[in-house]
Amino acid sequence: MNADLRTRVGGMDLPNPVVTAAGCAGSGRELSQFFDIASIGAVTTKSVMLEPHAGRPAPRMAETPSGMLSTTGMQGPGVDVFLQRDLPWLLARGGRAIVSIAGAGVGEFGELARRISAADGVSAIEVNLSCPDPAAPSGRHFADDASHAAAVVQTVRSHARSDLPVLAKLAADVPDVVELASACVEARADGLSMINTVRGMAVDTRTLRPAVAGGMGGLSGPAIRPLAVGCVYRVHEALPGVPIIGMGGVRTGADVLEFMAAGASAVAVGTTNFSDPSACSRVLREFTEALEARGFARASDVVGAAHRQGAGA
């Protein structure tokens, strides 16, 4: 039996639910050395800013149990280079592009949405709400305040081409992820991506100094999967009609199944791309096998399965 793998996220049709997570696959070029980038659902590109950004000082990463801490600080060449170099490369290979954007302020988000909308062939815009919020105390992100996050989403929505789906990328370490999700949906997000990295820290026990420069970093990898699945589950329960791209520690096809059962319509592979450059194609294969072994005719039949048969929350 050949399962139908197609999925739909906020008006975006994907051939299958396996996508890459923003910042964990560049724009697909490097990973395309290991598998056909057009074969997966989509590539979510690294969050692009208006201007070039040099990012944070090194050391930028530390390994932690079943995870890693990182702090790259949105290093990138800026939207011009992205639109001239990276996006055309990806589209020319037949890849689908979810373009992640990161603004230094609400206004920049609008400008980015406008610029991305002017380009052809983009599948969706993903709004990275884990960016420093200039209107909040230092260290806070837009996502930390549902109303600030909603303002960003609203701005993006109003500047983006009306047929371009806008996804809001949520974080788990916020006061209330369901409230954040609801605020973004009210601001007319077409879908939600969750979760971003979780703020954490490690101390290098050789030097007794913080292991990544600046102290705090973002935790990713399988360690955070239960947090991510919990967020997807709770948000899907509260907003069952809103499509979700689930992510956080996906390593195998079974993990894709787990996220979809919790309520995701598509699932992103992030940190695992670092440790296993052909992960996306492997995960897609494993997922397909797992789906068929369980007798599902359609991937979409799994979405939200963990909520059925009367599960409480």
282 contacts ligand FMN (rule: CB under 6 A): no
Q: Taking CB under 8 A as the rule, which mask of x and - marks residues 169-208 in contact with a second copy?
A: ---xxxxx---------------------xxxxxx-x--x
What residues line the site for other proteins (CB under 8 A)? 23-26, 30-36, 46, 51-61, 63, 65-68, 70, 72, 75-78, 80-81, 84-85, 213, 221-222, 271-278
Order of strands, sheet of 61-64, starting from the edge strand that comes earlier in the sequence? 61-64, 67-70, 217-220, 198-200
Whether residue 196 is annotated as binding a ligand: the answer is: yes
139 contacts a second copy (rule: CB under 8 A): yes
Name which of 145 and 255 has its Cβ closer to ligand FMN: 255
Q: Taking CB under 8 A as the rule, which mask of x and - marks residues 64-83 in contact with a second copy?
A: xxxx-x--------------
Beta bridge partners, 62, equal: 69
Gap between the Cα atoms of 92 and 153, Å rounded:
29
Gap between the Cα atoms of 259 and 313, Å rounded:
16
Whether residue 39 is annotated as binding a ligand: the answer is: no
Q: Which two tokens stand for residue 283?
A: 């995960």
Cβ 282 to other proteins shortest distance, Å = 10
287 contacts a second copy (rule: CB under 8 A): no
Q: Which does 246 bind (CB under 5 to 8 A by kind): ligand FMN, a second copy, other proteins, none?
A: none
For the chain, first and last CA: distance in Å?
34
Gap between the Cα atoms of 90 and 97, Å rounded:
7
Phi and psi angles of residue 196, each rounded to the nearest 5 degrees, phi first: -80, 180
234 contacts a second copy (rule: CB under 8 A): yes
Q: Which does 113 bind (CB under 5 to 8 A by kind): a second copy, ligand FMN, other proteins, none?
A: none
Catalytic (active site) residue 131: yes
The one-letter code for the residue type at 128 is N
Gap between the Cα atoms of 255 and 286, Å rounded:
10
Q: What is the DSSP letter of 48?
A: B
Cβ 91 to other proteins shortest distance, Å = 15
Gap between the Cα atoms of 279 and 282, Å rounded:
5
Gap between the Cα atoms of 287 and 199, Å rounded:
29
The stretch among 18-26, 47-55, 62-70, 278-286 that binds a second copy (CB under 8 A) is 62-70
Name which of 27 and 271 has its Cβ closer to a second copy: 271
Whether residue 249 is annotated as binding a ligand: the answer is: yes
Radius of gyration of the chain from Cα atoms? Answer: 18
The stretch among 4-12, 67-75, 116-124, 141-149 that binds ligand FMN (CB under 6 A) is 67-75
Gap between the Cα atoms of 167 and 184, Å rounded:
9
Give the CA distances from residue 46 to residues 1, 65, 89, in Å, rounded to whole numbers and listed in that order.
Answer: 36, 25, 14
Name which of 74 and 187 has its Cβ closer to other proteins: 74
The stretch among 14-22, 100-108, 111-119, 251-259 that binds a second copy (CB under 8 A) is 251-259
Count of CA atoms in the C-beta half-sphere (13 A) of 181: 26
45 contacts ligand FMN (rule: CB under 6 A): no
Which stretches of 119-252 are DSSP H helices?
A: 146-159, 177-186, 225-238
Binding site, annotated residues for substrate: 46, 128, 196-197
Active site positions, annotated: 131
Positions in the binding site for ligand FMN (CB under 6 A)? 21-24, 46-47, 70, 72, 74, 100, 128, 169, 196-197, 220-221, 224, 247-250, 270-272
